[in-house]
Chains A and B, each alone.
Chain A
């Protein structure tokens, strides 16, 4: 813990920023409509980043830039998850944007910028850096959503996203400013020290409320969920797949830095709020999802429900709870990516097929993909042995261990409600008769990426330890 400028702790960030600038220039001189080189370079960046990250894994934690920057197991593992899932999502995106006149270098550049923002968020050592990363992420995402500028729906979604995101950031910043006002510091360590010595006074609690609201907004937890279905629905599908999966992982990192690292000693003040958000999200998400006929909206409400389960883990408030929720959010990102992957797969030509009934006949004409989508649905519903089951199991174990059996019963009862709408999709694919084949993409990359993504759900389902042990090792007190 040397209080100095340590550039080796930001190797990855320097690399991605440099690569970004290079790709931007390379992209300028490309005549290729397909932007193949840009795509390849971007994917190469992720592979290199992954290697750098994997090599740093296991090294001692470093705190540099006067404590503003933290490179520890936690941030490294989250970064590795972010790289991998973004990597898969770009394969999805390529097939999708080619047919929609979205094939522009900006798509890849904005993705890279948002990844940089996420990297900053999870490595932040001060409240200011958290906010900086969050804004870099958010602004890139607003621009991504607005990329399809001819579409009214996408433009509307972008404006909504911008306004709501701005509001959320405002809440967060206000909360941070209150905390700064009381503690006199924006450094996470010093805030934590202040809280442990002076306990949380009223002003800190007041600030916490705003911070939790800001986080709730960012996650789309009920009652701050209103923007989420509209934006997921309105955005181009490949962007929905991205914004619904990867940024959630980074937001989890932010949540850990803000709540546990800074206010771990005042846990009793925020766990209650998180519990309320969690239960509301589970109830609302699951019930409203049942009546959806649009697959994208159904998955959006299911996202709210999943965030509910994820928050339920955090509401226990221990480091172990965070490790379980980390497991949940990584698994969720993988599942939801596959879920929206279905919609991307269903988009043939420049038309979108998003109704659940558009899946009709999938089992007859494309049995392999019907099977893959069934894997996604039952995994999301939490049926073992698919991966979606294990984090749910851990959340329930956590709650029961904490003595909150009633909460566990409520949560698990609503997972039965969840089963209804996931099975509805399987029902459409296999049981309903259809004379015509459902629309499917014929991009081979997409088919392979989607199959791998779906098969991962069962492979990890049989070996959940391969993810979970990393989540546990991210927390010093557990390893």
Chain B
């Protein structure tokens, strides 16, 4: 019975339908009902994504669970979905994090609960859609539509400076994506179709590639965010409610690097190769310089926000180092670099989400994000201290946690290119340990700083469930990343073999 299920459509529309049910159904008054509907919807969505993972054929590179319907015929835009080894893990990540956000906000959100939950469910559906879309315009539509619920989430439920932060977030990212639109229209006209894979096999001359490269770069680099255009992120993160920060860090940042993988690398490989050095330098700046910036923060959320930028620097490093490797015919190392980047994307999703939840736990009790107003929390919250330690260590890249795997793979493959790149990259492991553990020390250890801390209560069951799920995933992927690598391997191999070859002439392209 399940074979013919349009599983990707369900992953998109089920959460959106759940959101509609919440808004039009029980309304504001029956808080419990809305929460259970939201939880159930998120749970079913997550189970569906697990079902997709289980039935995914890991021996093939091409997209699976394909759906293809005519949508807007006069514009030649199709409703076409499909997932490969790159996008499917991200869809599962999205569904899981939405579930976690809904559980963790159970008692914490007081203002307009039904709207809050429906906004997250809509986000979940749209984000799943972004990862599943194989039509460029469908991708763009979902990519933009996603901004609206996030805009409202930060603006309505955010901190004191939320209006500034949310406007900055929206306008910044919208500015980036309009150039994406131009690039997509151009490619659509050239390929006479908006199908992504037709765009992958286009022959484009060097100058055009460079222009397209910059259009893609503006759009995706803002989303990642890469070094010079990262300033919206700390604002958005600090002002967003806990759930908003979790989704922002765990999923939305991944869309930028996903965009690199889906559009930039395969469509304009020659321009990417030409600019690879610049990108590597920018990634290293993000890794090292932002690491130092993180060290200087006094606000916990800001610290984690900067740490996210630094960790995403690893992802972009892994992606662009592969060009240098392909040029030297070291395809295996290139595969490792890209896989490392992908693992880093998934793992950072869990870890940064978990860290924001940890800060949320503290914030709910103390209403402060300043490191200086804490101290000695471990005396009052030993269980919390245990989980926080796991995630802090994972953020620092401790072997055995998922944070280590991706970074290690990226450093290893960059070592094949240059010792110095690997050395600067390795530096971040120290820096990450420094800023994360120093924050941990100041917040958790020492004497009880003030009487408010003395009144803290330890984790509730609901919070423990959330942290156990996250801690388990962090360890599973840290100790046994093989299943994840298996899913990714054929798609990444195909990307390296067929898509990163020169697109200046039709020669050498896989059919």
| Chain A residues within 8 Å of B, Cβ to Cβ | 363, 367, 374, 378, 383-385, 389-390, 393-394, 396-397, 400-401, 405, 408-409, 412-413, 415-416, 419-420, 423, 426-427, 430-432, 463-465, 468-469, 472
B182 touches A405 (CB 8 A): yes
Interface residue from B75, B115, B163, B171 paired with A416 (Cβ < 8 Å): B171
B115 touches A367 (CB 8 A): yes
Q: List the B side residues contacting A430 at CB < 8 Å.
A: 152, 155-156
A431 touches B156 (CB 8 A): yes
B186 touches A400 (CB 8 A): yes
Asked whether any CB of chain A lies closer than 8 Å to the CB of B81, the reply is no
B189 touches A401 (CB 8 A): yes
Interface residue from A378, A400, A415 paired with B185 (Cβ < 8 Å): A400
Stretch of B141-149, B230-238, B398-406 at the chain-chain interface: B141-149
**In this complex, which of B72, B145, B174, B178 has the most chain A Cβ atoms within 10 angstroms of its Cβ?**
B178
15 contacts between A and B (CB under 8 A): A383-B144, A383-B145, A389-B141, A393-B181, A400-B182, A400-B185, A412-B178, A412-B179, A412-B182, A415-B178, A420-B167, A420-B171, A427-B167, A432-B163, A463-B72
Interchain CA distance A363-B156 in the complex, whole Å = 9
CB distance from A397 to the nearest CB of B (A): 5
CB distance from A282 to the nearest CB of B (A): 13
A363-B156, A412-B178, A431-B156 known; A383 and B148 CB under 8 Å? yes
Interface residue from B74, B175, B181 paired with A468 (Cβ < 8 Å): B74
CB distance from A194 to the nearest CB of B (A): 34
Name the residue on B nearest A367 (C-beta).
Answer: B115
B178 touches A416 (CB 8 A): yes
Interface residue from A383, A419, A472 paired with B74 (Cβ < 8 Å): A472
Q: List the A side residues contacting B145 at CB < 8 Å.
A: 383-385
Q: List the B side residues contacting A416 at CB < 8 Å.
A: 171, 174-175, 178
Q: List the A side residues contacting B147 at CB < 8 Å.
A: 383
CB distance from A437 to the nearest CB of B (A): 15
Q: List the B side residues contacting A420 at CB < 8 Å.
A: 167, 171
Asked whether any CB of chain A lies closer than 8 Å to the CB of B137, the reply is yes
A397 touches B156 (CB 8 A): no
Interface residue from A363, A401, A423 paired with B167 (Cβ < 8 Å): A423
Interface flags for B167-196 (1: CB within 8 Å of A; 0: not) read 100110011001101100110110000000
Asked whether any CB of chain A lies closer than 8 Å to the CB of B78, the reply is no
CB distance from B202 to the nearest CB of A (A): 15
A416-B171, A420-B171 known; A397 and B185 CB under 8 Å? yes
A383-B147, A397-B185, A423-B171 known; A431 and B163 CB under 8 Å? yes
Interchain CA distance A432-B137 in the complex, whole Å = 34
Interchain CA distance A472-B74 in the complex, whole Å = 8
Q: List the A side residues contacting B72 at CB < 8 Å.
A: 390, 463-465, 468
Interchain CA distance A419-B73 in the complex, whole Å = 28
A409 touches B73 (CB 8 A): no
B74 touches A396 (CB 8 A): no
B75 touches A431 (CB 8 A): no
Interchain CA distance A389-B137 in the complex, whole Å = 11
Asked whether any CB of chain A lies closer than 8 Å to the CB of B348, the reply is no
Leading 3 A-B pairs by shortest Cβ distance? A384-B141, A431-B155, A412-B178
Name the residue on B nearest A468 (C-beta).
Answer: B74
Name the residue on A nearest B155 (C-beta).
Answer: A431
Q: List the A side residues contacting B188 at CB < 8 Å.
A: 397
A393 touches B185 (CB 8 A): yes
Q: List the A side residues contacting B115 at CB < 8 Å.
A: 367
Asked whether any CB of chain A lies closer than 8 Å to the CB of B475, the reply is no
Q: List the B side residues contacting A412 at CB < 8 Å.
A: 178-179, 181-182
Asked whether any CB of chain A lies closer than 8 Å to the CB of B262, the reply is no
Q: List the B side residues contacting A419 at CB < 8 Å.
A: 170-171, 174
Q: List the A side residues contacting B182 at CB < 8 Å.
A: 396, 400, 405, 408-409, 412
Name the residue on B nearest A412 (C-beta).
Answer: B178
Interchain CA distance A378-B145 in the complex, whole Å = 10
Q: List the A side residues contacting B152 at CB < 8 Å.
A: 374, 426, 430
Q: A363-B156, A430-B155, A431-B163 given; name 4 further pairs at CB < 8 Å.
A: A367-B115, A383-B174, A397-B75, A400-B186
Q: List the A side residues contacting B166 at CB < 8 Å.
A: 431
Asked whether any CB of chain A lies closer than 8 Å to the CB of B140, the reply is yes
Asked whether any CB of chain A lies closer than 8 Å to the CB of B311, the reply is no
B175 touches A396 (CB 8 A): no
**In this complex, which of B140, B167, B181 has the most chain A Cβ atoms within 10 angstroms of its Cβ?**
B181
Name the residue on B nearest A323 (C-beta).
Answer: B74
CB distance from A474 to the nearest CB of B (A): 12
Asked whether any CB of chain A lies closer than 8 Å to the CB of B162, the reply is yes
Q: List the B side residues contacting A409 at CB < 8 Å.
A: 179, 182
Interchain CA distance A308-B72 in the complex, whole Å = 25
Q: List the B side residues contacting A405 at CB < 8 Å.
A: 182, 186
**In this complex, which of A378, A393, A468 has the most chain B Cβ atoms within 10 angstroms of its Cβ?**
A393
Name the residue on B nearest A420 (C-beta).
Answer: B171
A384-B145, A472-B74 known; A413 and B178 CB under 8 Å? yes
CB distance from B239 to the nearest CB of A (A): 11
CB distance from A211 to the nearest CB of B (A): 31
CB distance from A476 to the nearest CB of B (A): 16
Interchain CA distance A394-B188 in the complex, whole Å = 12
Interchain CA distance A469-B76 in the complex, whole Å = 12
A469 touches B74 (CB 8 A): yes
B141 touches A385 (CB 8 A): yes
Interface residue from B112, B137, B179, B186 paired with A393 (Cβ < 8 Å): B137
Q: List the A side residues contacting B163 at CB < 8 Å.
A: 427, 431-432
